[in-house]
Amino acid sequence: MQTATSLTLRQALRHKIDNKTKPLGALGRLEDIALQIGLLQGTTDPQLVRPHIVVFAGDHGIAATGLVNPYPQSVTAQMVLNFLSGGAAINVFCRQHDLGLTVVDAGVNFDFDTVSLAGRLVTKKIGYGTRNYVEGDAMTSGETIAAIEAGKEIVTDLASKGCNCIGLGEMGIGNTSSATLIMSYITGIPVDECTGRGTGVNDEQLKKKKETLQQVFRLHLPAIAANPDPLTILQHIGGYEIAMLTGAYLKASELKMIILVDGFITTSALLLARLLDSHITDSCIFSHCSGESGHTKMLKYLGAEPLLQLGMRLGEGTGAAMAWPLVQSAVNFLQEMASFESAGVSKGGDI
């Protein structure tokens, strides 16, 4: 429900947008983004300050079985080291667009040299990967809560340094399977229709992945159906990095930060966060539609319209980084573009 104050602000923003030297609506989605950010920040003069990407990394017990992924679990740690040495796609895009980057060890099955990596790796390790949810719960209740709180702490720290725009990414071999189960439990879409190829499985592997995830879904359904809240879902079939993403979303929304939503796994965490904060999508800009098949259905469920359609399905926050210049352009035109009055240009109704 709109208050009188928010309605007045909306009208003021709309007036400012419509009186730029352009036909009404000529900047399309950029106008919608400018309006959204102005409303979120409560001003007709919004600012983007110290934009940042956070990549949460964690391992999944099921990945060690080879049932759902063609890559070994050790790739998670290898990719974290790649992030830290600046060699991954997210590093390239953050450098290109002048975005800050934080890499978080949420629960990687590896002992990083925290001394030599001090200042480059944020250690919030809850455990050395989750347990195999084919056999039981992925996490304990305490681990789930600790991971959510750690995600909140990361965002709180960035906000204390002035950051008001954040993109969230992830890394974790096997985490598309966890995201698939989360999506199915929350949306009610059958597991088979939510399951995609993840990190490049072939047809035979995809069939095995679907069979395995259907088995997992049935195993945990009674407990989740009895108590279908986000913490229960995470405890049974989640990941440390997905739980931290959930906490990060919640804190960023609370702090009225602009949130750039990335792809399939990060959107699964948003589904969880939305159950706890029904207004969270007011803060969200959906960067792109992932090439992972279930992401289109996720976005439709959320009523979200992504900015980009590039067929990307890498994760790491890369979609959020690619969308950043569009967000920047939306605020810049609102701030810097001349009005009809200031430029001395006649509006259509003046001639």
Kindly list the distances between the CA atom of residue 163 and the CA atoms of 43, 53, 166, 170, in Å, as whole numbers in the listed order.
17, 10, 7, 19
First to last CA, the chain: 39
Active-site residue identified among 143, 254, 316, 336:
316
Distance CA(289)–CA(297), nearest Å, equals: 10
Residue 102: enclosing H or E segment and its boundaries? strand 100-107
Q: What is the DSSP code (8-state) at residue 64?
A: G
Query: Does residue 193 carry a catalytic annotation?
Result: no
Q: Which residues, in sequence order, are CB contacts of 144 under 8 Å at separation 6+?
A: 231, 234, 235, 238, 243
Residue that is written with structure tokens 């969230």 in the block? 168
- CA nearest neighbour of 133 among 211, 183, 65: 65
Q: 303: phi > 0 → left, psi -120 to 50 → alpha, else beta; which?
A: left
**DSSP per-residue codes, 28-46:** THHHHHHHHHHHHHTSSS-
Distance CA(322)–CA(318), nearest Å, equals: 6
Strand partners, 339: 20
- Looking only at Cα atoms, what is the longest distance across the chain? 74
The residues annotated as belonging to the active site are 316
